[in-house]
Amino acid sequence: MKVKKAIIPAAGFGTRNLPITKVVPKEMFPIQGKPAIHYVVEEAIQSGIEEILIIISRSKTSIIDYFDRSIELENFLKERNKSHLIHKIMPPSVHIQYLRQPVANGLGDALLLAEPFINDEPFVVLLPDDIFIDKECDLIQLIETFKQVHSSVVGVKYVEDDLLKNYGVIKENKVKDNLYEILDIVEKPQNHPPSNLAVVGRYVFNPDIFSYLKKVKPDKSGEVQLTAGLKGIIVDKKCFAKEVVGERYDIGTEVGYVKLIERMNINDGK
Ligand code: G1P
């Protein structure tokens, strides 16, 4: 079955990046003149996605404006003999819808709001904090794996010990090169992480994830965690992790963002 739908959750407050995120969503942080979320949308398109739902919150209307057409600006560019710039402001060629998460109750809660959009089809989730520089496009590989194993698949990557506390970390059983069955998953382990394989913000789900998310109780901070939904799946059935090969930058951290900018400049020969 073709995987046609994607969810991009972009409703968080970006507390790690305050104060700028008070007015500029981290999804709009510039990377060579384009906002981060544009790269994520391009990755989805490259992977064959036809419909995207972006989950936003009240302070994120700039994301909607960005992907909309600006007829005034197009006309202005035409009038001023700058038509050659119009291609830069055209929206990407994919259907994008938006939904607002009223209360910041976590990633799992945001995804639950998307159930009617998904309408019982398989789908991908792309977390826009994680930007990939990746010629092969790891998401295509994750979708291929999903079709082979007929189970939900999570992208993971080797992460050094000191950074594991920032991610979901799996306990795994190797199936073959780069493919693991998930035996357990711990969200942001403060000590004794079960492995060095951390979730990188790319997932391919069967729609049954929703029934597991509905059973999740909010954590200490009141958030419904996606990781808790994944834990539910693995109790009943199989769920797999695929190790991704592309370079991944976590722009939710200052250091990740700076590294990405440097990397893009090197790419550009600057
Ligand atoms: C989320 C997930 C976590 C995952 C991470 C990837 O955490 O909860 O499991 O490893 O994204 O970036 P967040 O970055 O929203 O705190």
Could you give all domains of the chain from N- to C-terminal order, each with its CATH number?
5-269 (3.90.550.10)
| pLDDT single digits (tens) 102-153 | 999 999 999 999 999 999 999 999 999 999 987 789 999 999 999 999 999 9
223: Cβ below 6 Å to ligand 1? no
201: Cβ below 6 Å to ligand 1? yes
Residue 107 CA to ligand 1 center (angstroms) comes to 9
- Separation between Cα atoms, residue 110 and residue 113, nearest integer Å: 5
| pLDDT single digits (tens) 158-215 | 999 999 999 999 999 999 999 999 999 999 999 999 999 999 999 999 999 999 999 9
Ligand 1 site-directed mutation target among 55, 129, 158, 202, most atoms within 8 Å of CB = 129
- Separation between Cα atoms, residue 106 and residue 108, nearest integer Å: 6
Against a cut of 0.75, is the pTM above it?
yes
Angstrom distances, CA of residue 17 to CA of 22, 110, 144: 9, 20, 34
Q: What letter would DSSP give residue 29?
A: -
Written as six digits, the tokens of 97 are: 């819808």
Burial zone of 196 (CB within 10 Å; 0-12 exposed, 13-18 middle, 19+ buried): middle
Determine the pLDDT at residue 270.
57
**178, 242 Cβ separation under 8 angstroms:** yes
